[in-house]
Amino acid sequence: MPIPTYMISGFLGSGKTTVLLKMIEECERKNRRVGVILNELGEVNIEKPLFQKQNVKELLNGCICCTIKKDLETTLDEFILEAQKNELDLLIIEGTGVSNPLEVKKVLDNPMYLSHFRLYSMISLIDSSTFLEYQSVFSSTADIRKLLEEQITSADLILLNKQDLTKGKTLNKTIRKIKGLAGESVPIFQTSYGRIPSLELWKSRIQPSIHSSAERREEEAHSHHYSGLRAVKIEPVPKMKKRDLESWLSDLPKTILRGKGVVNLEGHEGFYSFQFSSNMLEFEKIQHPAGIHPAIILIGNQLQRKELMHSFSRFGKV
């Protein structure tokens, strides 16, 4: 039997990892052995502490839809071996925030993988608090607008996340815009923190061996349209005050679309992971910090590491 496979996509900071963790937790409760392919643009996965006990294979320093597609194929081969040993029940793939999901689907549709994996659903997350801003010609690039459209038009299920941060008129306008791109038949769930009835999340929404001409056109038209987006790692990161980190992140230029990292906060024991997007900063204590080192990852458009390091050092941190 082919392994049920789910693809999670969505722009930077939309909440993909939160949904992934919820899916993993449910699999563990039901004793289903889940494999995860986790793709990151940068050279390190700063969220690795969240997956210490799971069967996670990391694909770093590139995007599985293009620059490291061969790495994706190699990883799928590894999961095939696990399935043959009866060690795998389900596979979840989380792309980078700038990946084209249809390119990943194209790999899974390859005859060499069709008999091993069955794509059940392509889930796309959208940050309702930033979507209209990223769709505006005045506050985003054509590359970003095109990428968001690809992630929407390829989806079989859309999670309109962070609705708690969005006012009514903005939310309604966002929904109308998304329906115009995705079509009326694609279900849209309004969520906060990725909460959705599990029955909806696990539904099989893709018919086997279906590959529409529209999808083929999208795939053929794909190019490295997000080439200006990159990840910059900042380290060393000494112990700092929480308010200093908040101040520095809030003063970063708008070209910074996403921030995350691991820090040691003054007045607090242990390490904390943080997530920064939509001008919101959230912290979570790391329960098993063995082998973890503080670092900060920033993702954005045309980033310059030297400038960011200089900006960081002005707070007396480097």
pLDDT higher than threshold 80 for residue 55:
yes
- Cα–Cα distance, 7 to 99 (Å, whole number): 11
Residue 90 tokens read as 């389900």
pLDDT higher than threshold 50 for residue 234:
yes
Q: Are strands 3-10 and 55-59 parallel, antiparallel or unpaired?
A: unpaired
Q: How far apart are the first and last CA of the chain?
A: 54
CB 159 within 8 A of CB 19: yes
pLDDT higher than threshold 70 for residue 25:
yes
| Tens-digit pLDDT profile for residues 153-170 | 999 999 999 999 898 899
Confidence of residue 223 (pLDDT cuts 50, 70, 90): very low
pLDDT higher than threshold 70 for residue 303:
yes
Confidence of residue 229 (pLDDT cuts 50, 70, 90): confident
Kind plus residue range of the DSSP H or E element containing 138: none
CB 45 within 8 A of CB 94: no
Residue 12 tokens read as 């930077």
User: 């007045």: which residue's tokens?
Assistant: 267
Confidence of residue 224 (pLDDT cuts 50, 70, 90): very low
Is residue 233 classed exposed, middle or buried when 0-12, 13-18 and 19+ CB atoms within 10 A define those classes? middle
- Cα–Cα distance, 148 to 242 (Å, whole number): 32
Comparing 46 with 261, the larger pLDDT belongs to 261
Confidence of residue 316 (pLDDT cuts 50, 70, 90): low
- Cα–Cα distance, 276 to 46 (Å, whole number): 13
CB 116 within 8 A of CB 3: yes
Least confident of 10-24, 56-70, 106-120, 228-242: 56-70
- Cα–Cα distance, 246 to 283 (Å, whole number): 11
How is the beta sheet containing 272-277 ordered, strand by strand?
229-234, 295-301, 256-263, 272-277, 280-285
Domains identified in the chain and CATH numbers = 3-221 (3.40.50.300), 229-313 (3.30.1220.10)
Q: What interhelical angle do 101-108 and 142-153 show, nearest 10?
A: 40
Q: What is the pLDDT of residue 304?
A: 85
Q: What is the mean pLDDT of the chain?
A: 87
Percent residues over pLDDT 90 in the chain: 59
Which DSSP state fits 287?
Answer: S
Q: How large is the average pLDDT for residues 172-195? A: 95
Residue 55 tokens read as 């069967």
Q: What is the pLDDT of residue 218?
A: 47
| Tens-digit pLDDT profile for residues 243-276 | 999 999 999 988 888 999 999 999 999 999 999 9
Q: How large is the average pLDDT for residues 66-85? A: 92
10: β partners = 125
pLDDT higher than threshold 70 for residue 212:
no
CB 43 within 8 A of CB 60: yes
Residue 295 tokens read as 């670092």
CB 240 within 8 A of CB 263: yes
Q: What is the pLDDT of residue 280?
A: 85
159-183 exposure pattern, b = at least 16 Cβ within 10 A, e = fewer? bbbbbebbeeebbeebbeebeebbe
pLDDT higher than threshold 70 for residue 209:
no
Q: How large is the average pLDDT for residues 47-58? A: 85
Confidence of residue 288 (pLDDT cuts 50, 70, 90): confident
pLDDT higher than threshold 60 for residue 318:
no
Percent residues over pLDDT 70 in the chain: 92
pLDDT higher than threshold 50 for residue 217:
no
Q: What is the pLDDT of residue 41?
A: 82
